[in-house]
């Protein structure tokens, strides 16, 4: 039976990425060594990293004056690195879910943090839009896609202050105007590659404004100067990301990927809205194209466990909602084929038919 992988992360990867990464692990054609064992100082590794950076720039239309870094520690380490390097006196954060909350917690170790807007009042089911951004802040921080609550920014905020963004779960899924941001970061394990490498896109002249000394490993300038080679980078993970980026170029780039993602998400949201058993949890105008969250309607809520088992028996993997919110979550990242989305829709329809027919018999 075919498995349909809806896990939120680590998540589905394209066959192209998996096969070519496996090939590189067995041996690189130009080195006769595995990608797992070559030196990060070798010509082969240096060229691989340079190619990965070049494709990052090409696919995201990154302007001149920005660096692309590959670091360890996940996006969670960036929660402290961003304020360490940028928060001199005060920063503003938009609280749109669990991950922005974690970023806010870390930033408060380094200075004053003003939460200028929050969607906590309705359990993070929307993206805050009406708020004032103080002029005296060092930066505004946003989380562009909220994996747990299924909300997403559909366009870049238009503000007159430096901006930082966690784009872990929707990078390369939609058009982003990189020039509006001083720094963008994210873990790779959603739309890029396996867990273990973090990407950072950083505006070079935005650094050097804080008064505190910064430890070498937590200083972005260190990694820019050493081109992500200050310490041994996660070589295999970067190699896997390179395969994904090659695949993205084959697909036609971010514009084509965005259209495909919108089509996939639309299919599943249409079924959620139609199906008598289910309802979406995010406001329609802010629904994520990456993480589609839904629950049982009130009259059928006792069927949640049964539906999960029903879907699992038909090959649906990873649709259980995050433990903090329950319900269901189908993550439809870039590598998710539309056939898998259609398969989930068919499972929902089949289950609905069975439940309603049984109720009618009663």
Q: Are both 167 and 28 inside the same structural domain?
A: yes
Q: Are both 192 and 316 inside the same structural domain?
A: no
pLDDT band at residue 361 using 50, 70 and 90 as cut-offs: low
Q: Are both 246 and 257 inside the same structural domain?
A: no
Share of the chain above pLDDT 90, in %: 96
Q: Is the pLDDT of residue 91 over 60?
A: yes
Which is catalytic among the residues 99, 138, 170, 182? 99
**Contact between residue 291 and residue 147 where contact means Cβ atoms under 8 Å apart:** yes
Q: Are both 175 and 225 inside the same structural domain?
A: yes
Q: What confidence tens digit (pLDDT) does each residue in 124-152 have?
A: 999 999 999 999 999 999 999 999 999 99
Q: Are both 145 and 245 inside the same structural domain?
A: yes
DSSP of 173-237 = TS---GGG-SEEEEESTTTTSSTT-EEEEEEGGG-S---S---GGG-HHHHHHTTT-SS---HHH
Q: Are both 258 and 215 inside the same structural domain?
A: no
Of 218, 251, 284, the position where a domain reaches its end is: 251
Beta bridge partners of 199: 70, 186
**Gap between the Cα atoms of 348 and 341, Å rounded:** 11
pLDDT value of position 360: 64
Of 223, 251, 279, the position where a domain reaches its end is: 251
**Buried b or exposed e, range 196-227, using 16+ CB within 10 angstroms:** bbbbbbbbeebbeebeeeeeeeebbeebbeeb
- Overall number of domains in the chain: 2
Confirm whether 215 is domain-assigned: yes
Q: What is the mean pLDDT of the chain?
A: 96
Q: What confidence tens digit (pLDDT) does each residue in 35-65 have?
A: 999 999 999 999 999 999 999 999 999 999 9
Phi-psi region of 69 (alpha: psi -120 to 50; beta: other; left: phi over 0): beta
DSSP 122: G
Q: Are both 77 and 218 inside the same structural domain?
A: yes
> What's 77's domain CATH number?
3.40.640.10
pLDDT band at residue 154 using 50, 70 and 90 as cut-offs: very high
Phi-psi region of 208 (alpha: psi -120 to 50; beta: other; left: phi over 0): left
**Gap between the Cα atoms of 166 and 151, Å rounded:** 14
Q: Are both 239 and 263 inside the same structural domain?
A: no
Q: Is the pLDDT of residue 31 over 80?
A: no
Confirm whether 8 is domain-assigned: no
**Contact between residue 321 and residue 293 where contact means Cβ atoms under 8 Å apart:** yes
CB count in 10 Å sphere of residue 116: 17
Which is catalytic among the residues 95, 166, 286, 289? 166
Q: Are both 266 and 218 inside the same structural domain?
A: no
pLDDT value of position 10: 97
Q: Are both 78 and 142 inside the same structural domain?
A: yes
pTM of the model: 0.97
> What's 339's domain CATH number?
3.90.1150.10
DSSP of 98-120 = HHHHHHHHHHTTTSEEEEEEE-G
166 is annotated as an active-site residue: yes
Q: Which residue has the tokens 């690195």?
A: 81
What domain range includes position 241? 15-251
Confirm whether 345 is domain-assigned: yes
247 is annotated as an active-site residue: no
Q: What confidence tens digit (pLDDT) does each residue in 159-207 have?
A: 999 999 999 999 999 999 999 999 999 999 999 999 999 999 999 999 9
Q: What confidence tens digit (pLDDT) does each residue in 203-259 have?
A: 999 999 999 999 999 999 999 999 999 999 999 999 999 999 999 999 999 999 999
Which is catalytic among the residues 138, 170, 190, 289? 190
**Gap between the Cα atoms of 181 and 203, Å rounded:** 8
Q: Are both 275 and 185 inside the same structural domain?
A: no
Confirm whether 3 is domain-assigned: no
């Amino acid at each position: 039976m075919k498995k349909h992988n809806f896990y939120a992360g680590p998540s589905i990867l394209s066959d192209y990425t998996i096969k070519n990464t496996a090939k590189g692990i067995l041996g690189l054609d130009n080195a006769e060594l595995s990608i797992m064992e070559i030196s990060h100082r070798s010509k082969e590794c240096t060229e691989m990293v340079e190619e990965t950076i070049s494709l990052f720039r090409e696919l995201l239309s990154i302007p001149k004056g920005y660096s692309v870094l590959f670091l360890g520690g996940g996006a969670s380490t960036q929660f402290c690195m961003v304020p360490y390097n940028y928060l001199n006196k005060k920063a503003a954060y938009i609280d749109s879910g669990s991950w922005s909350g974690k970023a806010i917690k870390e930033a408060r170790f380094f200075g004053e943090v003003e939460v200028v807007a929050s969607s906590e009042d309705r359990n993070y089911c929307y993206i805050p839009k009406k708020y004032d951004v103080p002029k005296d802040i060092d930066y505004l921080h946003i989380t562009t896609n909220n994996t747990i609550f299924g909300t997403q920014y559909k366009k870049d905020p238009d503000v007159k202050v430096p901006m930082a963004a966690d784009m872990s779960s929707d990078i390369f899924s939609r058009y982003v105007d990189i020039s509006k941001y001083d720094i963008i970061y994210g873990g790779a394990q959603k739309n890029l590659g396996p867990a273990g490498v973090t990407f950072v896109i950083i505006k070079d002249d935005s650094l050097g404004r804080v008064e505190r000394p910064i430890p070498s490993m937590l200083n972005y300038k260190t990694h820019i100067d050493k081109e992500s080679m200050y310490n041994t980078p996660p070589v295999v993970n970067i190699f896997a990301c390179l395969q994904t980026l090659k695949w993205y170029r084959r697909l036609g780039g971010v514009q084509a990927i965005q259209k495909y993602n919108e089509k996939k998400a639309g299919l599943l949201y249409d079924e959620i809205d139609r199906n008598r058993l289910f309802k979406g949890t995010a406001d329609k105008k802010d629904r994520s194209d990456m993480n589609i969250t839904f629950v049982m309607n009130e009259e059928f809520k006792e069927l949640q466990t049964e539906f999960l088992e029903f879907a699992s028996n038909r090959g649906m993997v990873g649709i259980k909602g995050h433990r903090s919110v329950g319900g269901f979550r189908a993550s439809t990242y870039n590598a998710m084929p539309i056939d898998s989305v259609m398969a989930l829709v068919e499972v929902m329809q089949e289950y609905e038919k069975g439940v309603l027919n049984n109720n009618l018999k009663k």
